[in-house]
Structure 1
Amino acid sequence: MVQKSGAQPNKYQGYRSFDALTPGEDYREFALAPELGRVPSTGPELTDEQRARAAKLLADNTVISLHDHTSVFPENIEETVEYNRTGRHHTGYEGLSVSGIDAVFENFMDGTCCITSPSGWKWDDVLIDLGMRFSDIAKQDFIVRAERVTDIAAARANGQIALVPGLEAATPIQNEVDRIDVLYGFGVRQMGIAYSEANTLGSGLRERHDGGLTFFGEKAVRRMNKLGIAIDVSHSGDRTSMDTIKYSEHPIFITHAGARSVWPTNRMKPDDVIKACAERGGVIGIEAAPHTTMSKNQPVHNLDAFMEHFTYCVDLVGIDHVAFGPDTLFGDHVGLHDLFARHLSIAAAHEAEFTKVDYIDGIENPAEEFHNITGWLVAHGFSDDEIAKVLGGNILRVLDQVWS
């Protein structure tokens, strides 16, 4: 466990999701993937001095994941659809307890999990998704919900982890802008525009044509600005992303993406979108979901390929506008993508050859990601101040403006 400087000891005491209930009697039980040691994932090679410095940086700084999924998935990934339909996702408390993370933007998939219907995107599904997870979080005191910047600071000081509820897209609001208020009331503090497919707000990155932000989308952006919901365009089309940056009164996030100049797929962002986001004060979080942030130098997806996108973005827009949204989870993420690709149009249109891997070595799940990211930054000569910014300082700066 990472003992945070100036904070109380880590409060995790062994709680497992839904401990108050009886599995098999109160809910359907699934054999879940282990949160620690599922695969032999490795980090960067460090000297003892570098390892000590990395540990100190994790302890001394506010560490924020701009996009992750803290759910634990079934060991047999083919059981995921049935698991999702129960609405009872388990949270990886054990894995998070050793992660070094102070706050995590948890994304609840806004209906793509197909809880009650194979078609997904249902308003009721989203409320069930949120409510069921919150009912579990309410039974323990290690993970706490965060709705303002002071909640993140308080969690860090108390040896807890702040969880920021978010949605991958605003699709479930359909054409009812007041539903944004309802989600805000549920605690949602970050929301995407579109999840790969077009909706009433704008176009997703998988559409043949990108019509940009709709008039309703502009209205929704204004409502999110007024309420204090951070806006994300990770899965939005390029024109929709640019329009969102233009019409938002506050900086926005690209919570989990990479640079298309490094790897030619629509899932990555072009330079003009990354620069426009930064020019308005926003931040891009570099992602590590399987087979996304690869490069021509690193066609095998691993920690080094992921960090190539980081260094490219730093060179493009400066250290103040880059962070990390690794987009990992507890379980077989590659298998999950294969499963979802059969149900959703999320498969990437790669324009270069690459080698498929079973997992992303060095950045496999939330328990290990920031240890290895910090170690890599130390090994590659980044200063303490630069590391503090990308671990969480840049995100806090944007949140101070968006949530105030």
Structure 2
Amino acid sequence: MTDIKEGPSSQAQPAEAMQQKNYSGYKSFSYLEAGTDFKSYPLSVELNRVNSTRVEVTPQQEARVRQLFQDNLMISLHDHCFVAPQDLSQFLEFRRWGRDFTGYEGLSVSGLDAVFDNLMNGTAMITSRGGWKWDDIVFDLGMRLSDIAHQEMVIHCKTTEDIVNAKKNGQIAFIASIEGAAMIENELDRLDILYGLGVRCLGIAYSEGNQLGGGLKEPRDGGLTSFGRQAVKRMNKLGMAIDVSHSGDQTSLDTIEVSDKPIFITHAGARALWNSNRLKPDDVIRACAEKGGVIGIEAAPHTTLTAKHPQHSIESYMEHFEYCANLVGIDHVAFGPDALFGDHVGLHHALTEALSIGASRGHLEYTEVPFVDSLESPAEAFPNIVRWLVKHGYSDSDIAKVVGGNVMRVLKAAWYR
């Protein structure tokens, strides 16, 4: 086994796959009997669902891409690695059963060594149509981890050592993450409980404001509340990473200031390129970087658009990456594609209200796409991102930073171990 490095690569890569994972063919909840133990829904295919474009590189460049995957940690800062049902009109009913089906087959070819998986989040509506309830979040987390415990390729990650060992062992580290903290209500100790249950990254607020602070859809953002300040300090003490991707601008700035440790913007882009509340203004991106933090570039449909590329694809996505890298330096940028297995655009249509999709749309004209070309699912996102970086002349050392090294640096500072 090649030694794992967080720096540049140098050796030749003869293998055909990005990196071989120990996938046995396991499908979610196959230890139970579908139709008897739970209601069965036809699910989307995990591979080649649509005709998404592979970034073209020369054979020599492809060999370099494969070597980069072999030698360096590949960490997605934000994804939802579940498989959506084929019939999205049934999605809310499907969610009420509380079973998220992990895309193990798709993950096995993704090249990822670790992924911040954000579970059902606000679509965990087992007991409530509003979502974000404590019981639903705990149900969602426990059910997902029960399934993960019945196979060996994906492991529940709690430490940075788990990430390194996962790569060595042909596995993928699953980092349980939640995008907003509404479910803790005014109970500070619930942060400890979430940590004890294995959550290692938590957002301050989703689009709606909560007890901690303001979300991006609120007409006014009053910033981090007194309780929110206590929560940030508690997360620092626990060793839980903090995310402000969906938080309002002032709440984001306050969180960065109050936190003793660097934080993440796990999935966003630059508002300077596209006028959307879902993206971050320069002052927030700079403040995050100045504190040692990292911004992961977002690829959910119709988010990281630009005036130059108003049709969402890897080109508009990487324009946001390059803007942020030029703004704050290559040490403070990573990738949080926010992809899933299934019709992401159709899902947004089905869940416009629940996911506050309107707040994520920019104020410029754009062309709706059926999928984000070259970034359609977790199976293809990182391979195409690395191909794009190689094709555009990035050095091995810089690529190593943005695909995993920068994230690991923050985790070593933010996590307990």
TM surpasses 0.5: yes
* Match of residue 118 from structure 2: 107
- 1:186 Cα deviation (Å)? 0.4
* Match of residue 399 from structure 1: 411
Provide the secondary structure at the position in 1 that maps to 2:125. Answer: coil
Which of 81-90 and 113-122 deviates more? 113-122
* Match of residue 215 from structure 1: 226
* Match of residue 262 from structure 2: 251
* Match of residue 160 from structure 1: 171
On the 8 A contact 1:232/1:255 being kept in 2, the answer is yes
Structure 1: gaps (5+ residues): none
Within the candidate set 318, 324, 337, 2:348 is matched to 337
In structure 2, how many angstroms separate the alpha carbons of the residues matched to 1:227 and 1:234?
Answer: 21
Within the candidate set 292, 297, 302, 1:291 is matched to 302
In structure 2, how many angstroms separate the alpha carbons of the residues matched to 1:249 and 1:294?
Answer: 33
Within the candidate set 308, 312, 322, 1:301 is matched to 312
Within the candidate set 181, 190, 201, 1:179 is matched to 190
Structure 2: gaps (5+ residues): 5-18
* Match of residue 120 from structure 1: 131
- 1:344 Cα deviation (Å)? 4.3
Evaluate the alpha carbon distance shift between residue 275 and residue 306 of structure 1 in structure 2; reply closer, same or farther with a 3 A threshold. same
Instruction: Report the aligned-residue RMSD.
Output: 1.2
Aligned residues: 401
On the 8 A contact 1:289/1:326 being kept in 2, the answer is yes
Evaluate the alpha carbon distance shift between residue 359 and residue 229 of structure 1 in structure 2; reply closer, same or farther with a 3 A threshold. same
* Match of residue 274 from structure 2: 263
Output aligned runs, 1:1-400, within 5 Å. Answer: 5-6=2-3, 10-347=21-358, 348-400=360-412
| Length-normalised TM-score, structure 2 | 0.94
In structure 1, how many angstroms separate the alpha carbons of the residues matched to 2:273 and 2:122?
Answer: 31
- 1:43 Cα deviation (Å)? 2.2
- 1:116 Cα deviation (Å)? 2.6
Provide the secondary structure at the position in 2 that maps to 1:141. Answer: coil
- 1:115 Cα deviation (Å)? 2.5
Question: Which 4+ runs in 1 deviate beyond 4 A?
Answer: 6-9
- 1:6 Cα deviation (Å)? 4.4
- 1:51 Cα deviation (Å)? 1.2
In structure 1, how many angstroms separate the alpha carbons of the residues matched to 2:403 and 2:350?
Answer: 32
Q: Which amino acid aligns with 1:143?
A: V
In structure 1, how many angstroms separate the alpha carbons of the residues matched to 2:268 and 2:374?
Answer: 18
On the 8 A contact 2:243/2:265 being kept in 1, the answer is yes
Q: Which amino acid aligns with 1:303?
A: I
Q: Which amino acid aligns with 1:19?
A: S
Q: Which amino acid aligns with 1:317?
A: V
In structure 2, how many angstroms separate the alpha carbons of the residues matched to 1:105 and 1:198?
Answer: 23
Deviations 1:100-141 (A, max 9, x none): 000000112434332232111111000100010011001111
- 1:9 Cα deviation (Å)? 5.0
On the 8 A contact 2:330/2:401 being kept in 1, the answer is yes
In structure 2, how many angstroms separate the alpha carbons of the residues matched to 1:246 and 1:99?
Answer: 36
On the 8 A contact 1:42/1:361 being kept in 2, the answer is yes
In structure 1, how many angstroms separate the alpha carbons of the residues matched to 2:408 and 2:123?
Answer: 28
Q: Which amino acid aligns with 1:78?
A: S
On the 8 A contact 2:302/2:361 being kept in 1, the answer is no
Q: Which amino acid aligns with 2:100?
A: H
| Length-normalised TM-score, structure 1 | 0.97
Q: Which amino acid aligns with 1:271?
A: D
On the 8 A contact 1:9/1:158 being kept in 2, the answer is no
Q: Which amino acid aligns with 2:28?
A: S
- 1:340 Cα deviation (Å)? 1.2
Deviations 1:209-234 (A, max 9, x none): 00000000000000000000000000
On the 8 A contact 1:110/1:172 being kept in 2, the answer is no
- 1:339 Cα deviation (Å)? 1.3
In structure 1, how many angstroms separate the alpha carbons of the residues matched to 2:127 and 2:146?
Answer: 18
On the 8 A contact 1:287/1:327 being kept in 2, the answer is yes
